[in-house]
Structure 1
Amino acid sequence: MRFINPKIDFAFKKIFGSAQSNDILISFLNALLYEGRSIIESLEILDPYLAPQIAGVKNSYLDVKALLNDGTFVIIEMQVLKVQAFGKRVLYNAAKTYALQLTRGELYQQLRPVIALTITDFEMFAEHQDVTSHFVFKERTRLSDYLQNDIELVFVELPKFQKELEHLENITDKWIYFIKTTGTLDEVPQTMATVPEIQKAFEIANEVSLTQDELNTLQQQEFFAQDQESSVAIGREEGRQEGRQEGRQEAQIELIMLSLNRLVGQLNPDLESRIQQLSIDQLDDLVKALWDFSSQEDLTAWLEANSQ
C-alpha cells in the first residue's frame, strides 16, 4: 500500500479540500486550532481562489479555505520550502482575506474573524521549540487583547515534532504525525485507524484511489519540490559566497519552465522572456500558482496580474 505525501500541494488539497473532506477538515482543525476540543461543528470548504478582483491587489495562492459555522474564515497553507519573505506572505494573505470580505457600501460590523493556519516543513521560529505557535494582537506592555482580535496566525512547524508512533498522546499528535509521515508509510497504523476521520484521510491518500492524471500531477509536483529544494540550497550557498541570489533565481526559472512546458505545452518566446524578468518573490508566487494552470492563457492572465 502506498500513500500520497500530504506535504505536496496537490495531495494536501486532495485530502483536506475535496468535496468529501468536510468531516476530515473539521477534525483536523479542531485538533490543530483547539487542542482537540469540538469547537467547530460544521464548515463549508470554499474555492480558495474565489475573491473579489481589485486592481492593484496582489493574488494569493492558498491550499484550502473554509468558512466555519460561527462565521470565521480559516485559510490553510502547507509550505515545504522557506522562501524569501514567507512570513510577510502569511500576514498578507490573512489581512487580504479579512479586508476583501466587504464590498462597496457594506459595514465594518460585517467583517468576520480570520485564522491563518500555516504548516511548515521547516523551522519558522528558532528561538523556541514549541511545535505550534498562536499569534494575536496584544497590547505591548499589558499583553491585553485588542478590542477586535479578528486575525489570528497559527503555525505548526513539522521539524519540531519528534514523537514516534507509540508516543502519540492525543488527536493533535495524530494529525501532525499524519501530515509528517504519511508519505513514508505502507500501511495505516492501528492507533491512527481508531479515529474515523484519520482513517478516511488515509483512504483518500491511498494511491489506488487516484486517476492516472492525478498521479501524473502528483509526480510532477514531487519532482519539482525535490529540484526546487536543491536549487534553493545552491542559491543560498552562492548567495553566501557572492552576496547575491542570481544562482538560485536562474535555477528557479529553469525548473518553472520545465514544469510549465509539461503542464501547458511549449512556451512561446514572449512568455519565456516575461518569466525571466520576474523577481524572486514573483517566481515563488508563480510556483504556488502554476499547478492550477490548464493552458497558456492561464499563464498569460497570471503574468498580466502579477508582473507589473
Structure 2
Amino acid sequence: MQTNEVEIKTIQTTSEEEFIMKPYIDWCFKELMRNPKTRTGFIAALLRLPPEQIGRTTILENELSKRTEEEKQGVLDVRVLLESGTQLDIEMQVLYIEYWDDRSLFYLSKMFSSQLQKGESYDKLQKCIQVGVLNFTYFKKDNFCHRRVRFYDEATGDLYSEKLELQILELPKIPKEYHHPDGIIAWMKFFRGGNKKEMEEMAKGNAYLESAYEDLMEMSQDEKKRLAYEARERALRDQLALQHQTEKIFQQIAEVQGELDKAKDTLAETKGQLSETQGQLSKTQGQLSKTQGQLSKT
C-alpha cells in the first residue's frame, strides 16, 4: 500500500487575527472557485492565455449523468463551462488516492460523453479538460510539478484530438526558487498555503491572486464559514489517521506473512534433510541385511 505523504496541520496562532484558511483544503478551494475573477485567473494560467481571452465562466452541476442505475456516478469538485464551450473539471485532492490516473480518465471521459443527448451529432462535442490539483506526490520518478497530457498519434506524432486533455498539478513538487507572480506555479504556491504574511506576499503583483487572497481573508473571518472549514479539516485529519492506521496494519500483516514464508522455507529445508537422512538410513539397513545374510551363510 502507498504511504500517504500528506500532512494536514492546524497552525496554532497567538491571535485570531492571524488565522487564515488553507486553500488546499477542498472545502476552501471550492469556495474560492465561486468567485468569477478567481476562476478566470486560474483557468487563464492553466490554458496559458491572457485572462481577457477567457470570457465568461459558468459553474455547472457537478453530478454527471448516468445511463443506468448500475453505472458509477461521477461527482466533480468544480465543473466550469467557458464561453468558448470548453468544459473543465477542477479537482482538489487533499489525501493520497490510489489509481488517480485511472480516476481522472474516468471523470474526463464521463464529462466528454455526457455532452450529447440521444440523436445529437458528434460535431457538437466540445473540448473537455480534467484538472487534478494534488496535495501529494503521485508520480515519484521525476520532479515535474505540472503535467499537460494530450492524445497523440504514436505513428506520426501528430495531435490526434485537441478535445481531450488532462492537467496534473502536484503541489509538493513546486520549485522553491520560483518567484514569478504570474503563471500556473504562482497559483500552485498560493494553493499550497502558508501563514497570513506569506499568502499576502504570494498574491502581490497578480490582480487575480489578490482577489483570491481577499476572498480567503473574508472567509477566514466569517464565523459560519470558519466552522464549516474546521469541520472539513477535522474530517480530513481523521481520514488521514485512519489511512495511517490501515497502512500500519497492512505493514504488520506483510511482516507476519514474511515470517510465515520464512518458516515454510525452513520447514521445507528440514523435510528435505529428513528425507535425505531416511534415505541414508534405508541404505544402511540394506547393507546391514546383506551382511547378516552373508554371516548366516557362513
Query: Is residue 2:101 matched to residue 1:87?
Result: yes
| Match 1:227 to one of 238, 252, 256 | 238
Aligned residues: 237
Q: After superposition, where does 1:82-231 map in structure 2 within 5 Å?
A: 82-146=96-160, 148-163=161-176, 167-168=179-180, 170-182=182-194, 184-186=195-197, 188-190=199-201, 192-206=203-217, 211-231=222-242
Q: In the alignment, which of 250, 257, 277 is matched to residue 239 of structure 1?
A: 250
Q: Say if 2:190 and 2:202, in contact at 8 Å, map to a contact too.
A: no
Would you say the 8 A contact 2:219–2:226 is kept in 1? no
Q: Return 30-39 or 230-239, whichever deviates more.
A: 30-39
Aligned residues of 1:40 and 1:68 also touching (Cα < 8 A): yes
Relative distance call for 1:120 and 1:144 in structure 2 (3 A) is same
Unaligned runs of 5+ in 2: 1-17, 256-298
Q: 8 Å contact 1:22–1:45 — kept in the other structure?
A: no
Corresponding position of 2:22: 5
- 1:264-283 paired onto structure 2 within 5 Å: none
* Alpha-carbon contact 2:149-2:165 (below 8 Å) kept: yes
Q: TM-score, normalized by length of structure 2?
A: 0.72
Cα–Cα, structure 1 residues 37 and 61, in superposed 2: closer, same or farther, change >3 Å? same
Name stretches of at least 5 consecutive residues in structure 1 with no aligned partner: 245-308
Larger-Rg structure: 2
Which structure shows the bigger proportion of residues in strand conformation? 2
Give the secondary-structure state (helix, strand or coil) at the position aligned to 1:126. coil
Question: Identical aligned pairs, as a percentage?
Answer: 25
- Give secondary structure in 1 for the equivalent of 2:235: helix
Provide the C-alpha distance between the structure 2 equivalents of 1:105 and 1:35, rounded to a whole number of angstroms: 35
Name the Cα RMSD after superposition.
Answer: 2.4
SS of residue matched to 2:162: coil
1:66 is matched with which residue: 80, 83, 88?
Answer: 80
Under a length normalisation based on structure 1, what TM-score does the superposition of the two structures give? 0.70
Cα 1:109/1:74, change in 2 over 3 Å: same
Aligned to 2:295: none
